Amino acid sequence: MNAADRRNFLRRFTALAGVAAATPFFASAQGKSLLKSFERLQDQSPENTVTDETFWYQIKQAYTVSPNIINLNNGGVSPQPKVVQEAVERYNRLSNETPSYYMWRTLDEGREPLRRNLAALAGCSPEELAINRNSSEALETIIFGLRLNAGDEVVLTKQDYPNMINAWKQREKRDGVVLKWISFDFPMDDKAAIVKGFTDAFTPKTKVVHVTHMINWNGQILPAKEIAQEAHKRGIEVLVDGAHTFAHFQYTLPELECDYYGTSLHKWLCAPFGSGLLYVKKDKIKNLYPLFAAGDPESDNIRKFENLGTRSFAIEQGIGVAIDFHHMIGAERKELRLHYLKNYWAERVLDLPNVHLHTPLSKDWSGAIGLLGIDGKKPGEVGAHLFSAHKIHSTTIEWENIHGVRLTPNVYTTTRDLDVLVKAIRDYARA
């Protein structure tokens, strides 16, 4: 850790120690011991802490996860650390004292500071970020808000997320936009081949390309920036589905060079369930219609996308605490640990000839998500066995040309949990 990193770390640590008194978790013995652990780590690089199980075991204590189920479906949705749960409960109780007063005159005041915090995390201007409820809402705002005419072409892949595919199909049916499908044989680690897959589908009629930054089915990362660069050379707008990458690994939204982006915060940021964000590049805001009508739908103010009506302000304000928790772990430390956990189990089973990983191992192309296949076993059988015999919760993937059991750890997963998984896979594959 260099001097600047150490200063940042200490600043974050001191800030957290300051709030300790206000949050039951940090006032508890578990919370205090976690803070002590951070003191111990001050002089260590993120690389060194990746394998420090004592530290990660304490991170686990910051959650309320069941000790009886090993949850390896964090790809679906992630649990919140206790501090986030406590904040949501606190804000909710406050809201219930006098809802219209505390929601619209008190908690509402927190939205602009939250926007700035989120923008700092995303590396963009707060004037380009709208806060909403999930990736589906953010991405459908884009898909239904774009000014497309009959005959305009949209390039997308068969491996994109179903909600997004359905939204595009609805536009095809209603407005006559033409969907140009491409399909990949993942896993892939050939950047040029992936980019070419997209560029080969571009024609003079292409107006938009839809890029899923990390394929949810198997955790494959796509080179969003390089696809965006090729698209922009041809005047094509770029929409990125960042549901699985935000706060999973480090990047800024401007680095992706996309025009539109949506993500959920209840996945890798571990924010309250039902929290998300929409990014629209400043000069694109004016022409994108909001999904929920605004006074001036052609305004260039990003807040026109936030006319969602009454919703849970407690959930929204809980996002800020999740951002603090993310910074407390440290984005780099978290990124390294997440990738380490996937490779930890995968590398301990891949010597078996009938076991396959349908996800790249390298850090350039993958993070925490791994898709397991066992020859001669249906994914559903493997998933059912893992749960019934070992209480390992996973999800079965059967989508287009992608089949397997998806296993997704998170920061609270310990290698002890993964040792149970490794033994379970080895015994089952050998049987």
Ligand X SMILES: Cc1ncc(COP(=O)(O)O)c(C=O)c1O
Residues of this chain that interact with ligand X (CB under 6 A) are: 134-136, 161, 163, 212, 216, 241, 243-244, 264
The type of residue at 105 is R
Which residue, 161 or 198, has its beta carbon nearer to ligand X?
A: 161
DSSP state at residue 276: E
Cβ of residue 334: shortest distance to ligand X, in angstroms? Answer: 19
Cβ of residue 177: shortest distance to ligand X, in angstroms? Answer: 20
Compute the distance between CA of residue 111 and CA of residue 103 in angstroms, rounded to an integer: 11
Which residue, 49 or 135, has its beta carbon nearer to ligand X?
A: 135
Residue 201 burial (CB < 10 Å; 0-12/13-18/19+)?
Answer: middle
Which residue, 141 or 415, has its beta carbon nearer to ligand X?
A: 141
Which residue, 94 or 258, has its beta carbon nearer to ligand X?
A: 258
Which residue, 264 or 317, has its beta carbon nearer to ligand X?
A: 264
Joined together, the tokens standing for residue 8 give 């940042």
Cβ of residue 106: shortest distance to ligand X, in angstroms? Answer: 27
Cβ of residue 264: shortest distance to ligand X, in angstroms? Answer: 3
Which residue, 216 or 218, has its beta carbon nearer to ligand X?
A: 216
Joined together, the tokens standing for residue 6 give 């150490």
Which residue, 94 or 131, has its beta carbon nearer to ligand X?
A: 131
Prior bond of 187 cis (ω within 30°): yes
Compute the distance between CA of residue 26 and CA of residue 17 in angstroms, rounded to an integer: 8
Compute the distance between CA of residue 402 and CA of residue 399 in angstroms, rounded to an integer: 5
Q: Quick one: three-class SS letters along 213-266?
A: CECCCCCCECCHHHHHHHHHHCCCEEEEECCCCCCCCCCCHHHHCCCEEEEECC
Cβ of residue 420: shortest distance to ligand X, in angstroms? Answer: 25
How far are the Cα atoms of 149, 228, 282 from residue 206, in angstroms, in the given order?
11, 13, 22
Which residue, 146 or 243, has its beta carbon nearer to ligand X?
A: 243
Which residue, 212 or 394, has its beta carbon nearer to ligand X?
A: 212
Helix (H, G, I), strand (E, B) or coil at 19: helix
Cβ of residue 317: shortest distance to ligand X, in angstroms? Answer: 19
* Residues forming a β-bridge with 277: 131, 263
Cβ of residue 89: shortest distance to ligand X, in angstroms? Answer: 22
How far are the Cα atoms of 125, 137, 196, 390 from residue 264, in angstroms, in the given order?
19, 9, 29, 30
Compute the distance between CA of residue 126 and CA of residue 308 in angstroms, rounded to an integer: 19
Contact 209, 238 (CB under 8 A): yes
Cβ of residue 163: shortest distance to ligand X, in angstroms? Answer: 6
Cβ of residue 295: shortest distance to ligand X, in angstroms? Answer: 26
Which residue, 136 or 317, has its beta carbon nearer to ligand X?
A: 136
The type of residue at 256 is L
Cβ of residue 180: shortest distance to ligand X, in angstroms? Answer: 19
> Which of 77, 69, 79, 80 is closest to 393 using CA atoms?
69
Compute the distance between CA of residue 142 and CA of residue 139 in angstroms, rounded to an integer: 5
